[in-house]
Amino acid sequence: MMRSKLLFILLFLFTLFGRAQNNVLFEKATEAYNDGRYEKALEFYDQILTNGQHSSELYFNMGNAFYKLNQIGPSVYYYEKALLLSPNDPEIINNLGYAKNMRLDAIEEMPETAFAKFYGAVVNYLSFEQWSYLAVALMMVFVLGYIVYYLMRLALQKRIAFVVSILSLLLSVAALVLAYLQYEDYKSNNPAIVFAREIAVTAEPNNRSERVFSLHEGTKVNVVDELGDWNKIRIADGQTGWLPSNNIKLLKDF
């Protein structure tokens, strides 16, 4: 029992030390970025990632640093990773838009129905983790309202507590459903960013196959299959083809 407590204390102290170290690295990176030393800032950010910590703020700052260095692929890549963790963040979306404007490929997305747009806007408003946290918070409000309902004596107070409690329960269930739908959507997609200056997308997974179209650095694709060192990808307009896997970088490799 004593040994377990000692291990817990050591683990707790190690976690605190790790966070403190990452905070120092983040401050150094911010200082380097503000001084225009973007490559140095990226070195500090990479150290934080090596330490096992990642966040939308970290990826966003890395995207900014690469954007300042005019590196299209990495800037789009890290903005997109930040957006996965913080969907609909206006600052991330804004900077991602600037980075996308630097790309050579202008791919028109397949048209969506009004319902599909509404569904995507609602489900993807938060990440599945954020929807889950919201569901737990609402469930706590439900329990609190339920307790208050039994403690209050006045009819009006009991009525308000009852309504708040039931409403919180319904919203909690809705948040759980949205978390599930967002998670299923998250699993069904495997996005990646093209890092090659230019790459030929072929009809089959080999270099002898016919070229279907070409892609350039910074373009977002969805990986739908893989065979050896080749990935089958789909782009926003629905076209598919194969390209060598070392020319793209997956976004969900957290």
Say if residue 72 is in the same domain as residue 32: yes
The per-residue pLDDT for range 96-140, each reduced to its tens digit, is 999 999 998 888 777 778 888 888 889 888 888 899 999 999 999
Say if residue 196 is in the same domain as residue 162: no
Say if residue 184 is in the same domain as residue 120: yes
The per-residue pLDDT for range 170-219, each reduced to its tens digit, is 999 999 999 999 999 888 899 999 999 999 999 999 989 999 999 999 99
Tokens of 226: 């893989």
Does any domain span residue 57? Answer: yes
Say if residue 15 is in the same domain as residue 53: yes
Say if residue 9 is in the same domain as residue 61: yes
Does any domain span residue 157? Answer: yes
Does any domain span residue 108? Answer: no
> What is the domain-level CATH number for residue 50?
1.25.40.10
Q: Is the pLDDT of residue 6 over 60?
A: no
- Kind and range of the H or E element at 49? helix 38-50
Q: What pLDDT is stored for residue 153 in this prediction?
A: 84
Does any domain span residue 36? Answer: yes
Cα 254 to Cα 250: distance, rounded to the nearest angstrom = 9
Cα 38 to Cα 139: distance, rounded to the nearest angstrom = 44
Domain containing 234 equals: 191-250
- Give 107's DSSP letter: P
Say if residue 178 is in the same domain as residue 202: no
Does any domain span residue 73? Answer: yes
Does any domain span residue 66? Answer: yes
Q: What is the DSSP string of 169-189?
A: HHHHHHHHHHHHHHHHHHHH-
Say if residue 78 is in the same domain as residue 150: no
Q: What's the structural domain count of the chain?
A: 3
Cα 193 to Cα 99: distance, rounded to the nearest angstrom = 12
Does any domain span residue 107? Answer: no
Say if residue 140 is in the same domain as residue 226: no
Cα 200 to Cα 203: distance, rounded to the nearest angstrom = 10
SS3 98: helix
Say if residue 70 is in the same domain as residue 159: no
Say if residue 24 is in the same domain as residue 91: yes
> What is the domain-level CATH number for residue 233?
2.30.30.40
Say if residue 92 is in the same domain as residue 68: yes
The per-residue pLDDT for range 225-234, each reduced to its tens digit, is 999 999 999 9
The per-residue pLDDT for range 14-41, each reduced to its tens digit, is 444 446 688 889 999 999 999 999 999 9
pTM of the model: 0.80
Does any domain span residue 120? Answer: yes
Q: What pLDDT is stored for residue 154 in this prediction?
A: 87
Last residue of one domain, picked from the residues 144, 170, 188 = 188
Last residue of one domain, picked from the residues 58, 75, 100 = 100
Say if residue 179 is in the same domain as residue 118: yes
Last residue of one domain, picked from the residues 151, 166, 188 = 188
